[in-house]
Structure 1
């Protein structure tokens, strides 16, 4: 009576004022539960398990009570059994130790006459099922699918999905039974069966094509909306692999679209038509009906309807963009919706409905979202980046088909840089797009070059969005002839300091500076006067100083470019300085600037090249890209060590002299290194004259080896030739047991109601201005393959379908309910060749189990037979004993004192035999005591007295002589 109940525990936890007190109280309750679980009273143990199940919901581990939970599960009382199953469903997992002990218990409960216990066991199996349990219990659960109670049949059908996940082999055995349940008398059982088949069809729909006639019958006869939704989802999986289903399914689904008032069913019908491939480009009337019905979703106040409506329109717009574009007004309203998820879907959709007339307004509307009205209205960074990407996508779509004014587009890109500050990756993608449109559209090059120069001169851009400077730097370098003031641009670029930007921007700047310098210094417009000569010399010295800072950069690209141009500009500086020192009045610019550098950068104009052009170039026969150009050179470690020691000794001597204030230098003549001092004193290196000739020959040999050693070439093991992989396509074979009876499904007459007021007409079109045609340069590629060139793969920016691909990849694996159904992918019910080994293993296991059962049954039968024989023998012996005891009671044996023995005669024989025979006689005549020992004295023939011990052992009397 003093034990806490569950209600007492809940009240005690709620009465705790702080988390520390609650934690202490829970620890005390757990300690009490440990003691109560040891009790022999099942009521006490059940109450303890119930409290543990409640505490487990707070995150406390109760795995230590697994065996006690199993004991409560095996109780004969239903109330206690239910508590045990509840605790097991909450705490048991596939790694629970006692899980293997539950197999017989579950089999027993599944065979119970009480249907509530059967249902309870099925519920428990659905939560604790493991591969071994699924294999052992699958046959029992298949039998439960024919139970007399609909409640049990429904639960048995539903639990089979969990069995299939752990043991896919059960799908073959239970498929006929699942097919029967589609025609069950109870609607709940049919609905459960459709639900299971719908989930299974998502992984391998080909298995369930034979069920199409039955499912079609349910589709046309059922009035349960939830079951209709599942059937339509199932048909959306089956229709893509069976084209004949389109003509069968379109009339009834269209009828549901026109008649149903349930928005969830209406959406699933439209989604089935689109996802199932039933909506073609010729089905304009059907598409118009679907779009008009979807417009009703945006008139509702439910935000979920707007979301799913945008999803459906995103699928329809791929086939009928004009019909969706007629509803641009409701789509733009969703762009300003308060729900961020609805905004994202609307921004994704608006890319496909834009046209040359609406592009300006839509871009303006999206750019206004990037400008925060206040600090509270700042949108998330990910959404702002998505808006920038969609603006770039809709403008560059179909090779800039919607852009009529490219100067406007360049201005939009510059504005996007300024209003998207703080958004990572936005600057990189805008810079890549600015570069792309400049290279492709020749008419916009002067304006784009001027805009890029302004971006480089803007210090705020460098601090807030430096990623765009990579594209801007390339533009001002390649098209430097269009710059208004090349000197100002050079001045801004030479102000760049090391380690203040990325290595990519530094490399672009180093490459662009010589191009701008060549245009500025080699220009023939300005006369080459003395003042201009000094100005160019000063600028050249600044460039040399700039490149010297980057010639020691840790980035190999920056270091290599700066080192190459540094030597060039040193020669230029020397040439310009000669002009300054020349006293002649006729000054002329150095040809190194006017001709050499100018022809180096402006001889040919660059064109856009397809990103896939290189992969189309065939590899010549006999060329192995993995083969090394030259064998690695083996160096002698002993020679290196000697040289290192000699060099260290010379440096040590030089350091000693430097401390004394003596200037020194080291000279080497190839054979002997000498330390030369300022005053003529020499200090020789350590004695290295031993084997000097041999060392010289080794050094000469090593120099010859190093002369042709391409040490600067990387190993080719990291360069793998990319060969196109042929897609491994395994054609699906039809069902082996039966032919697909799709033709038996009747074709219904399709009547689509007239839609007078469903679709709102768009506003009166404005007169379109005449736009001058703009030439857009196409990409250069190799070969005549045009299919790959249509893919707009510009570096630094994902395609419009990038988000969809990322979404699909992120949804793979486990679902939201932690259900891992990957084991059912590609599992064919009829194609048994792929898993013969697994089935043979299962059959072998079943045979071993059956043999073990037979052996155990035979052994039990033999033991029972032996036990019966033993009982019968004991009974017979007992009857004989009782008869003998009655007979012995009538016969009394008296043993008197022996008379004095006579003197033994000489040569008399030993009395051994006589004594033994006498003992036998006494043993037969004497009554047999029960587990007692009697001593009897007898006299032998020679007069000696002997004592005999008589005891009973295993129903026999044994006499021994002391």
Structure 2
């Protein structure tokens, strides 16, 4: 019988046969048919009592699962193979489980005893493979049940098992954060393990944990510092340096301890990855200040080496580091402007993006022209095959606008050149959505602020509004170009041509906001053209103006019925004005006896648009206007009126009568309580009358009227329907958010009686080698004449800003642009490749309430000693001052004592 079983087993397909059969299929249909037959065979094989046959079937299913076929139906059979006493079969079972099991697998609860048995096995290979399986299939229940067993494995005699046990604890912490409390002492011991692999694994786990809550791991700083100064493993040093960059942000005293060893690594290491992490730790950890010129010069000079390598990754990280240093030491980074400008022509688009971000900080009045020219060349594809992403082109345009407008155009010495740049940007960025409005806004801002260049701005705007390509491909800029033409129409060379172009614009070819600007600009241009003093008012001119006025009336009549309220309101207002102008011209005598235009043209329209000059206003001006006394902006003007559901004529009359009574008593409602009581009594009477009337009506009639009213409301485009369902959902979401935030703030500390001893870290002597910054040869240039001073209009505001001139500072816009681009780049980082979700550890605080009370008591005792010493010093100083007949006020001392008493929690944290 056994011989027959062996003979049948010889004809079973192995994994090698399965792969060879799949490769032998000619087309996808044949492949799919072959695989389905193989799965059917596996369904029979997993039911075999022979463990070798069952193991081979599970191995084939694991291979097919990698090709996208489901094997969840065989989860119990996988569990059987996992329980095999043979290591080769057990390994196949664990491999299949790691591939196919998830948190929702039904048989997962049956694996607890099996995993405990394998963890207690005398064979260290069984223990290792069980730990590997746990790291992939762990669930909250498994983490809770197996945490104690895994903590014991951290002291296993085999370093191979200890390393795996330390690493799997991170997965346990993610599913069961309370395990961090019981395992932390053991995890701390592993930092001093004699095996370097175990220490490296421990550092990795602590580094990952510290990303969510670094404050918990400050007591480990002395041990980590010892590893930093004694280890030669570059990868472990990188992890420790990353960890210290997180700890240094919450403990500034670490700076004096960390700078010497990190500086030594920077000067001696040849590994570029370690060099970058050291520089990044100094910058990101807040260790580099404006006074550290020598340290900054060393970091900048070392980073220059990254651009001399052929590896593109080194250039990328070098630009990232420069972007962080340039905000603190821009002059040092500017010394390497040559390599940064070369990166702008790099074929790698990601490197060009980082270089464009950096070049904004390197411009000055002398280099602005060249930098803008290089950036504008970035917007033009170098070949037909090259396709520049729209996001990159938008980013380049925004950088150009930020460079030129920064600090109220401090770097721009020729505003005609800047307007020409804006016009070229409009043409280059045709077809890019929303960027035209930003360019147009800059054109409008320059025209308002720089009076000497308004004529050039108006001429450039006139050329844009007459360009058909711009109208159809980049229409967003028209809103601002037309505004500039209308506001400063006095500088137009040919206003009649511009008017003809505006009037000939067909309705609905542009958006409503642009049409509103067109309607507003036409009367302004008409006022300058018709009321011009350079052209005498003759009969022929009056007829010309009459025809022009008639055309404008016909143009405005098209927009008088527009669905946009802004367009409709402006059209109706100006329509009546131009009709009056046409009638006034017709009433003039036929002969040329009266050589003056009608007063509506010469005075009324002139006073309407040209009597005051428009100046820029600060964004903070409105906030500085004081609120009048007695005005409560939160108080309602009147109580809401309750309307009945039915629309009967008698009820409408009754409602109108009540509304008139409420209007008459509005002063009482606002000033006293009597009016409110009277209003409530009127409401109660109205409700009583309406209730009696509704009881007498037929219920079907009431339902019919209610349905008709709802139908009318839905068909009415100006009626806003209430959505109580949406309001309930929003209130519920806010309540859930508040409850979750309150619960997330709670936490305990497994590290009882642990204090951060900064003195345990030895102070090393800092010796920075004198590294000369690279000197770049500059071409000799002829001395240029100093640029002419251009008057830029300041913003109008109130209070202190009015004294300072209210300058614009567009650094906030640069910061917002950098934040948006970084957010767009880091959006993909939130999706972990390993599908690890560490949000459960983000608010897991290791501070226990008992320790906090003890810490508060110590801080209060220390504060009392400080206050007593200050009091004695103040008394001694006061006596000395009195002896010299000098009166000394100590108001600040008293205020400081009050602050210390009123905020003990902040001092305790400090």
Is TM (by shorter chain) over 0.5?
Answer: yes
Aligned to 1:312: 321
Aligned to 1:59: 68
1:603 equivalent among 603, 606, 611? 611
1:748 equivalent among 760, 764, 778? 764
Deviation at 1:758, TM superposition (A): 4.0
Contact 2:621 2:797 in 1 (8 A): yes
d(CA) in 2 for partners of 1:798, 1:759: 31
Deviation at 1:560, TM superposition (A): 2.0
Deviation at 1:251, TM superposition (A): 0.9
d(CA) in 1 for partners of 2:781, 2:399: 25
Contact 1:455 1:461 in 2 (8 A): yes
2:281 is equivalent to residue 272 of structure 1: yes
1:529 equivalent among 538, 555, 561? 538
Contact 1:432 1:795 in 2 (8 A): no
Contact 2:539 2:592 in 1 (8 A): no
In structure 2, do the counterparts of structure 1 residues 740 and 420 end up closer, same or farther at CA, with 3 Å as the change threshold? Answer: same
d(CA) in 2 for partners of 1:485, 1:633: 59
Contact 1:298 1:305 in 2 (8 A): yes
2:143 is equivalent to residue 126 of structure 1: no
User: For 1:694-843, what aligned pairs fall within 5 Å after superposition?
Assistant: 737-756=753-772, 758-760=774-776, 762-764=778-780, 767-784=783-800, 792=809, 799-804=816-821, 806-807=823-824, 810=827, 813-831=830-848
SS at match of 1:375: coil
d(CA) in 2 for partners of 1:774, 1:574: 46
In structure 2, do the counterparts of structure 1 residues 789 and 129 end up closer, same or farther at CA, with 3 Å as the change threshold? Answer: farther
d(CA) in 2 for partners of 1:750, 1:587: 90
d(CA) in 1 for partners of 2:447, 2:583: 36
Tell me the TM-score normalised to structure 2 length. 0.80
d(CA) in 1 for partners of 2:759, 2:299: 27
Aligned to 1:225: 234
Superimposed CA distance per residue, residues 290-321 of structure 1 (whole angstroms, 9 cap, x where no aligned partner): 11111111110000000000000011111111
Superimposed CA distance per residue, residues 808-829 of structure 1 (whole angstroms, 9 cap, x where no aligned partner): 7725744343221111113211
Superimposed CA distance per residue, residues 117-170 of structure 1 (whole angstroms, 9 cap, x where no aligned partner): 111111111111111111111111111111111001101111111111111111
Higher-Rg member (1/2): 1
User: For 1:2-17, what aligned pairs fall within 5 Å after superposition?
Assistant: 2-17=11-26
1:491 equivalent among 497, 500, 516? 500
d(CA) in 2 for partners of 1:269, 1:59: 43
Deviation at 1:760, TM superposition (A): 3.7
Q: 617-626 or 190-199: which moved more?
A: 617-626
Structure number with higher relative contact order (C-alpha < 8 Å, ≥ 6 residues apart): 2
2:339 equivalent among 330, 333, 348? 330
d(CA) in 2 for partners of 1:834, 1:114: 43
Contact 1:793 1:799 in 2 (8 A): no
2:130 is equivalent to residue 139 of structure 1: no
In structure 2, do the counterparts of structure 1 residues 440 and 46 end up closer, same or farther at CA, with 3 Å as the change threshold? Answer: same
d(CA) in 2 for partners of 1:142, 1:788: 66
d(CA) in 2 for partners of 1:277, 1:706: 64
Aligned to 1:109: 118
d(CA) in 2 for partners of 1:420, 1:533: 44
Deviation at 1:100, TM superposition (A): 1.4
In structure 2, do the counterparts of structure 1 residues 292 and 426 end up closer, same or farther at CA, with 3 Å as the change threshold? Answer: same
In structure 2, do the counterparts of structure 1 residues 81 and 703 end up closer, same or farther at CA, with 3 Å as the change threshold? Answer: closer
Superimposed CA distance per residue, residues 513-556 of structure 1 (whole angstroms, 9 cap, x where no aligned partner): 11111222222221111111111111111111111111222222
User: For 1:859-878, what aligned pairs fall within 5 Å after superposition?
Assistant: none
2:246 is equivalent to residue 237 of structure 1: yes
d(CA) in 2 for partners of 1:487, 1:792: 39
Aligned to 2:356: 347
2:382 is equivalent to residue 383 of structure 1: no
Aligned to 1:73: 82
d(CA) in 1 for partners of 2:128, 2:656: 91
Contact 1:281 1:319 in 2 (8 A): yes
d(CA) in 1 for partners of 2:75, 2:502: 72
Contact 1:429 1:796 in 2 (8 A): no
2:214 is equivalent to residue 198 of structure 1: no
Q: Name the count of aligned residue pairs.
A: 775
Superimposed CA distance per residue, residues 400-444 of structure 1 (whole angstroms, 9 cap, x where no aligned partner): 121111111111000111122222222121111111222222222
Aligned to 1:421: 430
Deviation at 1:744, TM superposition (A): 2.3
d(CA) in 2 for partners of 1:284, 1:794: 24
Deviation at 1:187, TM superposition (A): 0.2
Deviation at 1:38, TM superposition (A): 1.8
2:607 is equivalent to residue 594 of structure 1: no
Aligned to 1:585: 593
In structure 2, do the counterparts of structure 1 residues 428 and 810 end up closer, same or farther at CA, with 3 Å as the change threshold? Answer: same
In structure 2, do the counterparts of structure 1 residues 699 and 198 end up closer, same or farther at CA, with 3 Å as the change threshold? Answer: closer
d(CA) in 2 for partners of 1:619, 1:716: 33
Q: 699-708 or 101-110: which moved more?
A: 699-708
In structure 2, do the counterparts of structure 1 residues 613 and 4 end up closer, same or farther at CA, with 3 Å as the change threshold? Answer: farther
Aligned to 2:890: none
d(CA) in 2 for partners of 1:794, 1:317: 14
In structure 2, do the counterparts of structure 1 residues 627 and 810 end up closer, same or farther at CA, with 3 Å as the change threshold? Answer: farther
Superimposed CA distance per residue, residues 854-894 of structure 1 (whole angstroms, 9 cap, x where no aligned partner): xxxxxxxxxxxxxxxxxxxxxxxxxxxxxxxxxxxxxxxxx
Deviation at 1:234, TM superposition (A): 0.7
More helix as a share of residues? 2
1:359 equivalent among 368, 371, 386? 368
Deviation at 1:381, TM superposition (A): 1.9
Aligned to 1:937: none
d(CA) in 2 for partners of 1:439, 1:125: 68
Q: 825-834 or 455-464: which moved more?
A: 825-834
Deviation at 1:606, TM superposition (A): 2.0
In structure 2, do the counterparts of structure 1 residues 733 and 812 end up closer, same or farther at CA, with 3 Å as the change threshold? Answer: farther
Superimposed CA distance per residue, residues 383-406 of structure 1 (whole angstroms, 9 cap, x where no aligned partner): 111111111111112221211111
Aligned to 1:154: 163
Deviation at 1:267, TM superposition (A): 0.5
Deviation at 1:714, TM superposition (A): 9.2
Tell me the TM-score normalised to structure 1 length. 0.75
Aligned to 2:528: 519
Aligned to 2:3: none
Contact 1:626 1:716 in 2 (8 A): no
d(CA) in 2 for partners of 1:309, 1:794: 23
SS at match of 2:587: helix
Q: 822-831 or 783-792: which moved more?
A: 783-792
Q: 737-746 or 123-132: which moved more?
A: 737-746
1:459 equivalent among 456, 461, 468? 468
Deviation at 1:695, TM superposition (A): 11
Contact 1:572 1:593 in 2 (8 A): yes
In structure 2, do the counterparts of structure 1 residues 600 and 433 end up closer, same or farther at CA, with 3 Å as the change threshold? Answer: same
In structure 2, do the counterparts of structure 1 residues 301 and 813 end up closer, same or farther at CA, with 3 Å as the change threshold? Answer: closer
Aligned to 2:408: 399
In structure 2, do the counterparts of structure 1 residues 172 and 794 end up closer, same or farther at CA, with 3 Å as the change threshold? Answer: closer
d(CA) in 1 for partners of 2:186, 2:575: 82
Q: 362-371 or 197-206: which moved more?
A: 362-371
2:50 is equivalent to residue 41 of structure 1: yes
Aligned to 1:661: none
Q: 425-434 or 623-632: which moved more?
A: 623-632
5+ residue gaps in structure 1?
Answer: 641-693, 721-726, 836-962
Say what the alpha-carbon RMSD is for the aligned residues.
Answer: 3.5
Contact 1:627 1:716 in 2 (8 A): no
d(CA) in 1 for partners of 2:574, 2:665: 26
d(CA) in 1 for partners of 2:811, 2:504: 30
Deviation at 1:210, TM superposition (A): 0.7
Q: 711-720 or 464-473: which moved more?
A: 711-720
Aligned to 1:26: 35
